[in-house]
Structure 1
Amino acid sequence: MSKFGELIHGNIPVLLDFYTEWNESSTAMHPVLRDVAAALGDKARVIKIDVDKNSELAEALRVKGLPTLMIYKAGEMVWRQSGEQDANTLIGLLQDYV
């Protein structure tokens, strides 16, 4: 969990994607997240978190549906949504916090 704290406490927004490889909606988000990361470059970070490998963190954050997306800025969660999102929506959300 201390590593998680380090990830989310920066001055740039961090988009977290909680996913599993066996969930179709989760894997459908992979190319979308690549597009988001490419569009924003170093203005934001995109981090994928495998729920199967990070179950304690997923439980602590009450991740139920997959994929679950969260945006953190300076250690605070500023946005959260479960389900698929399109790249333009995510880019727009992240730009609000850049």
Structure 2
Amino acid sequence: MSKPVLFDFFATWCGPCKMQTPIIEDLAKKMGDAVEIRKIDVDQHMDLAEKYGIRVVPTLIIEKDGKVVQSMEGVTDLPTLENLLKPLVG
């Protein structure tokens, strides 16, 4: 069974993205290897931003088995992320 992937679409100039970063770091510490986290700078990876229809940063997308399970625009708190990811972990 594959593990869920959390895509963190951000921009270096984005204030809310800077608020999201420590939340993602805490999530990585808490969930460890159970979740793969990929940070994607939309200015450097416009192709991926376009593929996922990113219009706002930060946007977090959770994928499981190659399918988008959840998409969230704006800053998302740690409890919300944990509640979304825990059921997807093997």
TM-score range relative to shorter protein: over 0.9
Displacement of 1:57 in angstroms is 1.1
**TM-score, with structure 1 as normaliser:** 0.87
Post-superposition CA distance 1:18-77 (Å, at most 9, x none)? 000100011111100000011001111111100010001101211001101000001111
Q: Which residue of the partner structure matches residue 65 of structure 1?
A: 56
**TM-score, with structure 2 as normaliser:** 0.94
Runs of 4+ aligned residues of structure 1 deviating over 6 Å after TM superposition are none
Q: Which residue of the partner structure matches residue 83 of structure 1?
A: 74
Q: Does 1:29 align with 2:17?
A: no
Q: Report the secondary structure of 1:31's partner residue.
A: helix
Amino acid at match of 1:43: A
Quote the sequence identity (%).
37
Residue segments in structure 2 that go unaligned for 5+ positions in a row: none
Q: Does 1:38 align with 2:29?
A: yes
Displacement of 1:90 in angstroms is 0.4
Q: Which residue of the partner structure matches residue 5 of structure 2?
A: 14
**Between Structure 1 and Structure 2, how many residues are aligned?**
89
Residue segments in structure 1 that go unaligned for 5+ positions in a row: 1-9
Amino acid at match of 1:68: T
